[in-house]
Chains A and B, each alone.
Chain A
């Protein structure tokens, strides 16, 4: 009951936001995209125990594919945008499926290193490919609506994406999919010994991640209004690192943890980032080391250890035999 009130409040806030704080719409768009980043990273990193350092690849693919469709398809603006978003998501999923069926058959640490260079390699390739503007990047088409309408429009798209990501993952975690990826995290050898199609689940998980990231990329390309191969699309050293940090900070392997982590990180970052100047990325590396070593369970993970009953881990009196069969 309490939870549904909270959920309704969050939804109402997201819907009313552009009216409440119109100056912060773009800022808020980035915040909800951060939530998408951190949730999709956590699907593999937290729920499945597979560190991916290359998830930004799917974000960039979605962004570029969408921009190319918007540039080359000559329908109305909303139609090309919808087509672009769909194509971006499809391309990201396809790449995840192909890559994943190959390297996800390996154990976690091989996968982790295997993904280290994905974002950077894609950035290099994009920067050298004239079809997508090369190093000069791309500019998505102008939003046709009224001045300021663009911010509101893409804010709602981004917020809808974040909400959809959240509820999809919540739904997935509640079923066999969630059980399977958790089993893979806890003991993959055992999962195989029990006959689970582990590679299938792992690849599917990566595809789900890629799907939402691809859409996210398509949206952010339009929000930022300019696509740089290394700075906006395949931004491994910013988005790619942030998603890891946010998920761990909030509590990997939990549903609300990544959301919390993204909100805290983004707000803190926006408040203090400008004061750090050159030291921004240094602070980022430092934070990762400190959090991973001293606070690996994250905020919600810590809460779960502290109050396990609140998370449903409790001893129950045995029911009488006849009651339970």
Chain B
């Protein structure tokens, strides 16, 4: 199976601090992959490098065979590679529905569409997605008035509205009510299975990532420490040491 995302020897430093040291990973199309590692191991930095938030020092990032490491954030997004943020980012003063209506697929954002009104189909899709993440009742509330967990769900719905090929999720369960986490895992699986969206998930909750991901990469100190099936990674001594805080 061809990889949809291929990261090869990516290196990123901030001043003298190496955040990512020659990290390589690849994610095949249609899969759910996990990215784990202790705090400060460079997971979010890697996400930012992939979606073009900052330039990388060296290495290559290919999305669907195309080199994206020199493109800027919106260009990469338009190729169908989106991320969600650890600290949610939503349009706080707009209503939930509006948040979704402006997150239509980039193909629908041509010059002509600047003056268009949201079509009935788009509105229906927005409402369906809000229903899907359980925010339908709050769809006319301002997004900024939602709780952190709800904003997280809204952000997920926005990403889905845009019909990406691949989603990078930065800690999707952080801040979500624990009783709703199983629901969310189930939804993420459905997103993957029904919509065919490839997922790469940063997750701290081991139970979640072990249950969700089909394959896991583990970062520590900016380097790739281990990779493999969940069961194998879980029992890898180096991973356990890294998490127990050898350093």
Chain A residues within an 8 Å CB radius of B95: 312-313
The answer to whether residues A319 and B117 also contact, given A187-B90, A193-B82, A253-B93 and a CB cut-off of 8 A, is no
Chain B residues within an 8 Å CB radius of A191: 91, 102
Most buried by B among A174, A194, A319: A194
What is the CA–CA distance of A185 and B145 in the complex, to the nearest angstrom? Answer: 17
What is the CA–CA distance of A313 and B98 in the complex, to the nearest angstrom? Answer: 12
- Residue of B83, B101, B141, B144 near A179 (CB, 8 A) is B101
Closest beta carbon of chain A to B6's beta carbon, Å: 21
The answer to whether residues A186 and B109 also contact, given A318-B131, A324-B136 and a CB cut-off of 8 A, is no
The answer to whether residues A319 and B136 also contact, given A177-B114, A195-B78 and a CB cut-off of 8 A, is yes
Contact B94 A182 (CB under 8 A): yes
Chain B residues within an 8 Å CB radius of A179: 94, 98, 101-102, 118
Chain A residues within an 8 Å CB radius of B139: 316
Closest beta carbon of chain A to B187's beta carbon, Å: 14
Q: From A195, which residue of chain B is reached at the shortest CB distance?
A: B77
Chain B residues within an 8 Å CB radius of A317: 137
Chain B residues within an 8 Å CB radius of A8: none
Q: Check A183 for interface membership: any CB of B closer than 8 A.
A: yes
Q: Which of A111-119, A197-205, A226-234, A257-265 contacts B (4 or more CB under 8 A)?
A: A197-205
Q: From B100, which residue of chain A is reached at the shortest CB distance?
A: A179
Q: From A189, which residue of chain B is reached at the shortest CB distance?
A: B89
What is the CA–CA distance of A152 and B91 in the complex, to the nearest angstrom? Answer: 45
Of the four ranges (under 10, 10 to 19, 20 to 34, 35 or more), the interface on chain A belongs to: 35 or more
Q: From B80, which residue of chain A is reached at the shortest CB distance?
A: A195
What is the CA–CA distance of A317 and B109 in the complex, to the nearest angstrom? Answer: 32
In B90-112, which residues have CB < 8 Å from any A CB? 90-95, 98, 101-104, 106, 109, 111
Closest beta carbon of chain B to A281's beta carbon, Å: 33
Q: Check B244 for interface membership: any CB of A closer than 8 A.
A: no
27 chain-A/chain-B pairs, Cβ below 8 angstroms? A175-B116, A176-B109, A176-B116, A176-B117, A176-B118, A179-B101, A180-B102, A183-B94, A183-B102, A189-B89, A190-B89, A190-B90, A190-B91, A191-B91, A193-B82, A194-B158, A195-B82, A312-B140, A313-B95, A313-B141, A313-B142, A314-B141, A316-B140, A318-B131, A319-B131, A324-B127, A324-B128
- Could you list 12 further interchain pairs (A-B, Cβ under 8 angstroms) beyond the known A187-B92, A316-B138? A174-B117, A175-B115, A183-B91, A183-B102, A193-B89, A195-B77, A313-B140, A319-B131, A321-B131, A324-B124, A325-B124, A325-B127
Q: Which residues of A contact B (CB under 8 A)?
A: 172, 174-177, 179-180, 182-183, 185-187, 189-198, 200-201, 204, 253, 308, 312-319, 321, 324-325
